[in-house]
Every structure is written in C-alpha cells, then in structure tokens.
Structure 1
Amino acid sequence: MATDSGLRIYRDATAIITGGASGIGRALAEELAARGGEVVLADLQLELAEEAAAAVRSAGGRATAARLDVTDHEEFARLVRETVTRTGRLDFLFNNAGISHGMGAGARHYRIEDWRRVLDVNLGGTVNGVQAAYNLMIDQGFGHIVNTASMAGLVPSPGTTSYVTTKHAVVGLSHNLRAEAAQLGVRVSVLCPGVVRTPFIEGGRYGRRVDGVTSEVTREMWEQRKPIPPEEFARKALDEVARNKGVIVVPGFWKLFWWLFRLAPEFSLRLGTKNFRDLGGGAAAGHEAARTGPETSPREP
C-alpha cells in the first residue's frame, strides 16, 4: 500500500533500522521484510547484523547489513546517502539503537562517563538519525521517522535514571518533530515498548552494570513485568506505524501506567519509590566496580 504522498506501507518500501542485529531491531527487520519491504540492518555488530540479514534473505526477504556507530553523524549520513543512491528512496528510518547503564543500581553509582555514553547513544544517536534523514525525506516528499523510546520515556522508572532521561528526551523530540513535520509530508512516531524479551534486559553487550546488580537480579526484575517476544512487539508496532499513530505503546496494557502517571503523578512516584526500595535501592552496588555487561547484543526493551 502507498499513501498519497508516495510513502510505501510496506511493500517495496526501503527502511533503515539501527540496532538491527538483534532484539527489537531484528524483529522489526524480519517483519518489515515479510511485508514486502527492503531493510538495511545497521549495527555496531556487523557480523551479527550480516547473520540477521542472511536469515531474512533465506526467508525470501530483501535485506542488507551495514556497520553503523550511531554516535557518528557523518557515518550515519553516509549510510542514508548510500541507501538512497542504491534504492532510490527512504521510506522509513527506525532510530532503534540504545544502551543502558546500571539497571537497578540508582544514579548515585554513576560516573560522568556513564551519563555521557548513554546520552550519546540513546539521544545523540536519535538526533544523528533525524539530522541525516529528515531533510532528505522532506525533499523527496514522504518518509516516516520512527524513534524507539520506552515506557521509561512516559513514566518514572527508578533505578534507570540515565536511561529514563534519554527516553523522555526522545519522546519530547518525537512529539515536537511530528508537529513540525506533518505540514512537510513527513511522519514521525515514537515506540514506547513495555518489556520485551531481548538481551537488553540483562544489560546488552554495550550496556553496563554494577556489582551487586547481577544479570540474574535484572532478569528477575524484568520477568516480573511480563516481557513479550520481540516478534509479537514488531507485528503490533508496525500495524500502529502503518496507521501513523504518534505514540505507540506495546503491549497495550502498559498504557494504564501512562494514564495513571498523567492523572495521579504523586501516587505514581510513591509506587516508584516503593518498587526501588523493594529492589534494594541499589544499596549493594558500587560505582567503582562498574564493568562492561555480558557479551550479548544491545537492544531496546
């Protein structure tokens, strides 16, 4: 299906997906390809991205892999230019790459470099994607930028302060850009997943955790929140993207927490305080012992 503007949904569309090697990014790529689109899986982990692209091709889809550091604007802009030169268009950009730091540990255990890394990837990477693709989409007369935030961009999530900071910023960026872009023929949406079963919920390869907050602790924390398979998330999210929804919350029951925070913010904050206290409040963790997370792939919950 194509819109009046020329945007293809999704047959014969071209889409770039950052963080496309695994988790939500890979699931989005597989679902887009199954719906007839051509996907570029962009990721720091080129070998893993190539494996994912090969799997898409084996299933009958069209996919290529590209190495991308989303914190490098020139590299991002080059990938967009090369994609458009090769395919003649860019229908979708999924700004999906992201990392976390010290899940469950609390802000008192951060180092300044931890803040900078999360800001550079989660917010800076999204800004770089917008900067690389937005004007091009305006010039071609169509396009859809889809930014991955999180429920942590809509409600408080104590124990994930740096992550929450970036995801609130991504939501705000998406709201504002959507308002500006509508009159220019470009769509903007923001994905706000609940909890999705990906390597990210244990830190991811490029995330960081601290001693006392092990992968087992974080896994248990997220399991209590009923994670869904990334394939289910991708199917439901792409249906909403096709409808040009501005804020996309999947699974739908997470909207209750968003509505509760909007209606009763003080009550929601008290709940957040209790949850953080029940988790241990990061009391066992020490920032001096911060270490690189497990050798798994970085992706968004």
Structure 2
Amino acid sequence: MAIADKTIVITGASSGIGEAGARRLAERGARVCLVARREDELQRVADDIRAAGGQAWAYPADLTDEAAVARCAERILAEHGHVDVLINNAGRSIRRPIREALDRLHDYRRTMEINYFAAVQLTLAFLPGMLERDSGQIVNVSSFATLAPVPRFSAYVGSKAALEGFSQSLAAELANTGIAVTVICYPLVRTPMTAPTKMYDNISMMSPDEAAQWMVDAVAKRPARIARRVGEAMAVAKTAAPGLTTSIMARVFDYRAKKLRKQMED
C-alpha cells in the first residue's frame, strides 16, 4: 500500500518509537499528525520533520484526559478532513513485582488510561470516517510480553492484553471491509520508557530506528500482526502447554535477573 499522502495520526510521537516512526513515515511522504503530552518536544519533532521536507502537525494532548482526547480528535478531523491511519503508540510501563503492588491499584488504572482507554477512544473517534470511506487502518502497538508469560509487569501486560483483545474483536468485525487492524508486538526497545530500569543497560534491545521500520511495514503491508519469530513461537507454546511455559519463563527471568544484578555489582 502507498504511504505517500496518507494522513497518519501517531500518539506518543514526542520521543522513542513514536518519534522515529513519525520521521520515517514522513520521509515516505505521509502527512503525520503528532500527538503527545509534552508540547515542546512534540513541536521539536514536527519542526524537524518540516525542515527535512516532510509534512507534520503537532497536537499536544494529555491522553489520560478524556475531554482533551476528544478535543484533539475533533481538531485533527476539522483540519484534515479524515484520518487514513491511526497508530496507537503512546504507552506507559511499570515494572514491579506483584508482592510490591498489593496496595497500588492506581498503577493499574494509570497504565489502562494510556495503553488501553486512550487507544480505544481515538479509534472510536476516527473509525466513523474510515467506515464511511470503507478505507483505513488501526495500528495498535503492543508487546512481546503479551505472547509469553512475563513476570513483574502485571499492570503493563494486563493493559496491552486488553488492547490486543480489543484489536482482535475489531479485526473480526471489519474483516470484510477496506479497514485493516494491525498489532505490533515489540520486544524491548531502547527508549526513554526503558531507560529508568538500569538493569536493561546490559541487555540487547531493538533500536528506535528498527522499531520505526516495523511501523512503516505495518502501514505499507497491513498485516494482522508483526512480531519476532521467537514471540510467535512463545505464543504457540503458551497455548499448547501453559503451565510448563509459565514455569520455564519464570525460571529464565529469575536467572537473567540474578545474572544482571551480579554484573551491576561487579
């Protein structure tokens, strides 16, 4: 599918995967509408894209604020008429063992606000135009963590699993239309979101540029899912032998955590 001249909305576009994806899509001729909370950073990205010859507009909005999201969507539609592709990329990650989260229900609410409800609200806002034109695409950014039993991320994985369930049902309803639904299951990507976890400094991660190419591929090829083969294999294993797969993953994560802690101490 051609990317040039498509109006593409990207959330979480002020840094990390969203910024890299916006730049790459703009290079391919897309009209990118950038959405994020930090206005200064968002404007920086938009200015850089325009300076490089691309087309970009900044729409600062707090995606945890339902009214702000509604105003943002209304403004985009008023200024562009329609949206060809919505990329729900904005996300929040919390790494915390469940034993340390027993009194932190707010962590689960916070992750759902960004990772799930904001994505659903924007989808509901832009989908009517797509249905009217029988054309469009919803790209929901998820994680490898939904494909395998991953400990210490119950808030994050729960929110992304909800987003994937929404995506699957949406895809089934839109199967006989010109609207595609794509889920991107990223592995760990070296972005500002992963930077606070110092343990990640010593492990291999995908770069934002590599992640951006997945985003371009999602729009260009419109697959149902993009994931690494190991992720797909883990999803099959989890379905075939859930108990065994969970036990193995728990031991692997414990081993890696101990090894990384020792490296940090040394």
TM-score normalised by L of structure 1: 0.79
Counterpart residue type for residue 216 of structure 1: K
Q: Return the offset for 1:199.
A: 1.3
Would you say the 8 A contact 1:149–1:170 is kept in 2? yes
The alignment status of 1:186 with 2:179, answered yes or no, reads yes
Correspondent of 1:241 among 195, 219, 226: 219
Correspondent of 1:228 among 196, 206, 225: 206
SS at match of 2:13: coil
The alignment status of 1:196 with 2:189, answered yes or no, reads yes
> Per the alignment, do residues 38 and 236 of structure 1 end up closer, same or farther by CA in structure 2, a change over 3 Å counting?
same
Counterpart residue type for residue 245 of structure 2: S
Correspondent of 1:219 among 201, 215, 222: 201
Counterpart residue type for residue 261 of structure 1: K
Would you say the 8 A contact 1:154–1:168 is kept in 2? no
Counterpart residue type for residue 235 of structure 2: W
More contact order relative to length (CA 8 Å, sep ≥ 6): 1
Correspondent of 1:266 among 243, 248, 264: 243
Q: Return the offset for 1:78.
A: 2.4
Among the aligned pairs, what percent are the same residue?
33
SS at match of 1:114: helix
Q: Return the offset for 1:257.
A: 2.8
Write the deviation string for residues 187-236 of structure 1: whole angstroms up to 9, x where unpaired. Answer: 21111111211111134xxxxxxxxxxx322434xx2xx21211122213
Correspondent of 1:109 among 84, 100, 117: 100
2:261 aligns with: none
Q: Return the offset for 1:253.
A: 4.4
Work out the CA distance in 1 between the residues paired with 2:239 and 2:166.
19
Work out the CA distance in 1 between the residues paired with 2:52 and 2:132.
34
Unaligned stretches of 5+ in structure 1?
2-8, 204-214, 281-301
Unaligned stretches of 5+ in structure 2?
259-266
SS at match of 2:193: helix
More helix by share: 2
Would you say the 8 A contact 1:70–1:129 is kept in 2? no
Work out the CA distance in 2 between the residues paired with 1:270 and 1:253.
17
Would you say the 8 A contact 2:82–2:129 is kept in 1? no
Work out the CA distance in 1 between the residues paired with 2:149 and 2:78.
42
Kindly report structure 1 stretches of 4+ aligned residues shifted beyond 4 Å.
none
Write the deviation string for residues 102-131 of structure 1: whole angstroms up to 9, x where unpaired. Answer: x2x311212111111111111111111222
The alignment status of 1:78 with 2:71, answered yes or no, reads yes
1:36 aligns with: 29
Work out the CA distance in 2 between the residues paired with 1:263 and 1:219.
33
The alignment status of 1:147 with 2:129, answered yes or no, reads no
Would you say the 8 A contact 1:98–1:121 is kept in 2? yes
Work out the CA distance in 2 between the residues paired with 1:85 and 1:268.
49
Work out the CA distance in 2 between the residues paired with 1:154 and 1:177.
19
Count of residue pairs brought into register by the alignment = 255
Counterpart residue type for residue 50 of structure 2: R
1:5 aligns with: none
Q: Return the offset for 1:277.
A: 2.9
